[in-house]
Amino acid sequence: MRPLLCLFLLAFTVVWSSQDPWQKAKELATGSDIRIYKLGSTKPVEGKMAGFVDNKLQVILKNEQIAIRQAEIDRIDYRPPKGKPVKTENTVTSTDGFGTTTNTTTGTSWSREGWQTVYRKTP
């Protein structure tokens, strides 16, 4: 009984750890900001995700749409969408001998996380 359980756990671990990294890239939403690093290139291709056809990633550049084969891609990074605006308000009240002074400062910030890697070619 124990060897059968160990074999089952080993099989489950192998299946769970062998998930296709390309699948994570396919789950990105259309219009996401992405950077594609091609094999042998130091400068990434930056654009918006358009979709997948067979094993090709379609990318919208400034004025054209291109398709890049999976075999040519070394790494894909994406930038998460902007979050909701965060409003801040700071109020400082000071009292001197002549009266009370109140200064209020308000601001809004749209924070955005940095680039995250979703696909890296395995050796």
pLDDT, tens only, 80-123:
877 677 677 778 788 877 777 777 777 776 666 788 899 998 87
The predicted pLDDT at position 38 comes to: 95
pLDDT band at residue 3 under the 50/70/90 scheme: low
The predicted pLDDT at position 17 comes to: 47
Domains of the chain, CATH where assigned: 20-82+113-120 (2.30.30.520)
User: pLDDT per residue over 29-86, tens digit each?
Assistant: 999 999 999 999 889 999 999 999 888 999 999 999 999 999 999 999 999 877 677 6
pLDDT band at residue 5 under the 50/70/90 scheme: low
Average pLDDT for residues 12-38, to the nearest whole number? 78
Name the burial class of residue 49, with classes exposed (0-12), middle (13-18) and buried (19+) by CB atoms within 10 angstroms of its CB. buried
* Distances in whole angstroms, Cα of residue 65 to Cα of each of 18, 38, 110, 112, 123: 32, 16, 29, 26, 29
